[in-house]
Amino acid sequence: MLPEHWPRWVPILISIFLALLAIGLGLVLEPAAQALRPQPTPTPTLPAIPYARPLSGECEKCHFSREALLASGADPARADEVLIDPASLWTPHGRLGCVTCHGGKGQVADKDQAHEGLIQDLTDQYPQDCLICHRNLPAEFPEDRLRTPHGAIVDAVWEGSPCAVHCSDCHGQVGHGFDPVTGRTVCSMSVCLDCHRERNVPGLTDCITCHIGPHDVAATLDCQTCHTSTERWDQVALRVHPVPLVGKHAAIGCFECHQWPNFRGLDYVCSDCHKRPHTFGNDNCALCHTPEGWKSSAEALVAAATGVPHPVAGREDCRACHGVTGGTPIPEDHKGRTNDTCLVCHAEAPAATAEHPFPQDHDGAAGNCVLCHPGNDFSAYNCETCHAPSGMAEVHAARGISEIANRCTLCHPQGEKP
């Protein structure tokens, strides 16, 4: 409460003073409060793009008509280079207008004045202007299996360092009816390679620089190992094959054995591609077949096979006698064959009949045939397995094998040929 004797206007003055004091304190403390308050990160804004389609009328009048270009004094040999399809105005870049990217004075009819300050290729002279809209460019396009050098190019642009590749080298004259990004325009790889070689662009001469292989061989094989054409990717001819391709194998296409997408998983054995049509043998088809033809090679093998010179019944285990070693071992090229394949080629046939009875030793066993028939080690075999005795009278075992072998006249009288 104020004293009763104070004039009534004193509270008014006090109120004004307090208000001024509060304002003063606010002005003094506000900078400190701003300094203590967390400062938000400013959001960068892109520079304004001059939308110049309405300012490009004279450009369109001339460059949309070949007759107008020739009338303006354009070189007839180069007129088509600067002739623009009017339909390109409806592309995203075409809507920007000519002077947006090319500069000049698009509302001036005089050719020389209109071309003052003309920028022929924005991506060459002012590439940073392209990046105003085209930011965060991807390094790979998985859906198209392509990779690009966007990162190196963008870094060079921002750093102001020289770069041998410009946007227009790959993307063409965007806004002029050419834009390979849409997929309607397809350039062959030879166009890219020719440009890279002409400009001596380092590291951009291999297919894998721009192409992502659709199969797992890309880690070990170069694209050009199989793809021989830079015009058509589907023209394929393998230059170096891991195994020789001869006979029927040389006449078939690669993809009959190497299936997309990995083209791998082959051990280069017959069973990779061929299913055995019979129950005997095993999956090593090469034991009986050759690439010259599975049927003809098997028929030739059977025709050349020798007969089995003894009964087979009771002797089905061929390898017990004809193993790798022994009196009659299997040939070197028969290794790996099984008992059930022997009779596929070898038919049962009688062996030559002996022209004499088999001499017996004192124990009643067959005699030692090699005493008279040297040249083979049959000591562990019984000749009766293959040969049957016939002909002359039985030799008396009491005389002994050695005596018989040394006295041919016992069986062959003098003058009679043995």
d(CA 121, CA 100): 12
Please report the pLDDT score of residue 254 as a whole number: 76
Q: Which residues of 90-123 are buried (b: 16+ CB within 10 A; e: fewer)?
A: ebebbebbbbbbbbbbbeeeeeeebeeeeeeebb
For residue 148, the one-letter residue type is: T
d(CA 292, CA 233): 31
Please report the pLDDT score of residue 218 as a whole number: 62
What are the residues facing 147 on neighbouring strands? 140
Please report the pLDDT score of residue 116 as a whole number: 93
C-beta separation of 367 from 360 below 8 A: yes
Splitting the chain (418 residues) into consecutive groups of 10 residues, what average pLDDT does each group show? 65 77 75 67 56 83 91 88 86 85 90 91 88 86 83 87 80 74 67 79 70 72 75 70 82 76 72 83 82 85 84 82 73 80 83 74 58 60 72 51 51 53
C-beta separation of 361 from 401 below 8 A: yes
pTM of the model: 0.46
Please report the pLDDT score of residue 23 as a whole number: 81
Closest CA to 146 of 90, 85, 223, 69: 223
Cα distances (Å, whole numbers) of residue 63 to 83, 95, 121, 412: 5, 15, 16, 119
Please report the pLDDT score of residue 380 as a whole number: 45
Q: Find out whether the peptide bond into 261 is cis, omega within 30 degrees of 0.
A: yes
Please report the pLDDT score of residue 398 as a whole number: 43
Please report the pLDDT score of residue 418 as a whole number: 47
